[in-house]
Amino acid sequence: MNQTTTVRFDVDDAGVAVLTLDGAERLNAFSGETARQLGAAYRRCDADDAVRAVVLTGAGRAFCAGADMSAAADSFGAAADGFSASPVQPPAWRVRKLVIAAINGPAIGIGLTLALQCDVRLAARDAKLAVPQVRRGMVGDCAVHYTL
């Protein structure tokens, strides 16, 4: 069983790239590896002239339920080449194509941040959006306060 949320990359004949956070058994929990794969997928979409638009979604019943807090999860500290408020480099707003978040379920913490970094957000009726850190008097992670 896959313990890390990966990013599935598909492009259809119309030039729409669909990036799927693929860790449904863990509600697409976000880890450092997820950040690296999503950043690589964004760079690939940006560089490929055949890609005209990008859709970011989650597998299963969640968009992204937040950070992977399991003991085996890698931390998503600063990258070796310097600090960034976003663990995904580049963030969606730097991609020169339209990036759409298809929020198919819970988007919590970093999951909501990923959606907010997109140009357009479409949410299912049962989607739940939250920044739980604010309940504890903390600033939300990864520049959510900026994108909100």
For residue range 77-113, list pLDDT tens digits in order. Answer: 555 555 455 677 888 889 999 999 999 999 999 999 9
Other Cβ atoms within 10 Å of 22 Cβ, number: 20
pTM of the model: 0.85
DSSP state of 21: E
CATH class of 6-70+84-147: alpha beta
* Strand 6-11 versus strand 16-22 pairing type: antiparallel
CA gap 44, 42 in Å, rounded: 5
More reliable by pLDDT, 4 or 134:
4
Band the pLDDT of 1: cuts 50, 70, 90: very low
* Strand 98-103 versus strand 107-108 pairing type: unpaired
Lowest-confidence region among 23-32, 90-99, 118-127, 130-139 = 130-139
CA gap 138, 52 in Å, rounded: 38
- pLDDT tens digit sequence for 35-75: 999 999 999 999 999 999 999 999 999 999 998 888 555 55
Give the residues across from 10 on adjacent strands: 18
Other Cβ atoms within 10 Å of 119 Cβ, number: 14
